[in-house]
Amino acid sequence: MKITDFGYDGEGVGHMDGKVCFVPYTLMGEEVEVDIKKETSTFIKAFPNEVIIPSQKRITPPCPYYTSCGGCDFQHMSYEDEIELKKNILTRQLSKIQFAKDFNIVTSKSNYSYRNKVKFFCGDKGLSLKHAMSDKLVPIDNCLLAKDGINSVIDKINKFILRNKLTKIIDTITVRQVNNIICIKFDFLKEPSVDFTGLSLLLGNKVYLYKSINGKGIARVFGEEIELLENDLKYTFKIDAFRQVNDSVAEKMYQKVCDAVSGGVVLNAYSGAGLLSGLLCQKAIAVYGVELGKEENLSAESLKQKNNLDNLTNINGDCKDAIANLKIDFDFVVLDPPRVGCAREVCESINKVDATVIYISCNPASLVRDLGRLNTFNIESVTLFDMFPRTANFEVLTILKKKQN
């Protein structure tokens, strides 16, 4: 089958038996032999068994797990070609709402070793990631996307869980790197009868251990509270609170948000652990953060206390209801929702506000839907931030201005 186009996830697209066929890990112009994984009345999803005529742009993926582990999508092309593909994907999405202007692209300084967080599943052989085209687990001893500190603990965690026969009672293991500290959180399905002292001694005092049983609360087993100082803000790191995964791209993205704000009252919707709210407090008269997560909200409250941010109000609630209840004339609205995008009610509330809107999205499909709903605004600018190199994901920051009557 010949690959004649690309799909919204950057996969190759061809045709077979009169149906459109999506084939990941392929490039335009390639001739491939495929294995059908899913077939419906309108489309086929297939795995490329063999690339018969490769594109000149194809490169050898550096990761031995590539195409079995589902973590990466674009290791078979250069980073320059990946950026070009992401640009084309976003252009095509934006054309659905008749946006045809150029946009800026901010690339990542590192296109490997950038992730400060990896959530592993626990399989029979230890730390694993999900297979690309099934729920099968792929045991991993090194992830090229992860920061070195994360990779440095994988082998020791594996020995600990296998020696103590814990694989059946661990659901996931999250490993995060913050500065030079590594945090490991074990999500147990039931209380384990195991002593972590040996593991802690083996890993050293720069590795902190946490556990959670059946998702109920998090206990710190070894290590201290992690106090950070970022952009002049004192901040307590919480193992389960949202944090952008690529530190250097996140910094540039936050800078762009802050550059768009000057004075006034800001609504920071989907505000996470409060770091962006804290930065916005340095530019605005007042900032209202709205966040659903409990852990994130605790973090945002502690950031407020530690930095004496009297102009910050953290609201722990669902944006869907909380924003409609805020009877405030906002000058700026920051929206940074999860992949599903904003609830329809959020767009309806924002349409009534005479403000500049800064919409950060990690999913161009829900972004385009919401931009269509935010119909009292014009798009002023769009910037693609490549937060997730080697994967099909990226962030888009859109600045919207109120339409003049």
**Residue ranges in contact with ligand SAM by CB under 6 A:** 242, 244, 270-273, 275-276, 290-293, 296, 318-320, 336-338
Question: Alpha-carbon distance 324 to 15, whole Å?
Answer: 47
Residue 303's identity, in one-letter code, is L
The nearest distance, CB 290 to ligand SAM, in angstroms, is: 6
Question: Alpha-carbon distance 350 to 266, whole Å?
Answer: 12
Residue 246: C-alpha distances to residues 118, 149, 251, 391 (Å):
12, 14, 9, 13
Pairing state between β 126-130 and 137-139: antiparallel
Q: Give the closest residue to 265 by CA, choosing from 185, 355, 175.
A: 355
The nearest distance, CB 292 to ligand SAM, in angstroms, is: 4
Select 55 or 268, whichever has its Cβ closest to ligand SAM.
268
* SS (HEC) of 154-207: HHHHHHHHHHCCCHHHEEEEEEEEECCEEEEEEEECCCCCCCCHHHHHHHCCCE
Question: Alpha-carbon distance 169 to 172, whole Å?
Answer: 10
| Number of Cβ within a 10 Å radius of residue 137 | 19
The nearest distance, CB 272 to ligand SAM, in angstroms, is: 3
Name the DSSP class of 28. T
Select 126 or 341, whichever has its Cβ closest to ligand SAM.
341
The nearest distance, CB 128 to ligand SAM, in angstroms, is: 25
Contacts of 71 (CB under 8 A, 6+ apart): 65, 129, 130, 143, 145, 391
Q: How far apart are the first and last CA of the chain?
A: 52
Residue 66: both structure tokens together: 């590539």
Residue 342, helix vs strand vs coil? coil
The nearest distance, CB 353 to ligand SAM, in angstroms, is: 17
The nearest distance, CB 388 to ligand SAM, in angstroms, is: 12
Q: Is 265 left (phi over 0), alpha (psi -120 to 50) or beta?
A: beta
| Number of Cβ within a 10 Å radius of residue 106 | 18
The nearest distance, CB 316 to ligand SAM, in angstroms, is: 9
Q: Return the half-sphere exposure (C-beta side, CA atoms, 13 A cut-off) of residue 220.
A: 12
Select 34 or 269, whichever has its Cβ closest to ligand SAM.
269
Select 68 or 174, whichever has its Cβ closest to ligand SAM.
174
Select 76 or 115, whichever has its Cβ closest to ligand SAM.
115
Select 23 or 346, whichever has its Cβ closest to ligand SAM.
346
Q: Facing residues of 365 across strands? A: none
Taking CB positions, which residue lies at the least distance from ligand SAM?
272
Select 14 or 289, whichever has its Cβ closest to ligand SAM.
289
Q: Return the half-sphere exposure (C-beta side, CA atoms, 13 A cut-off) of residue 2.
A: 2
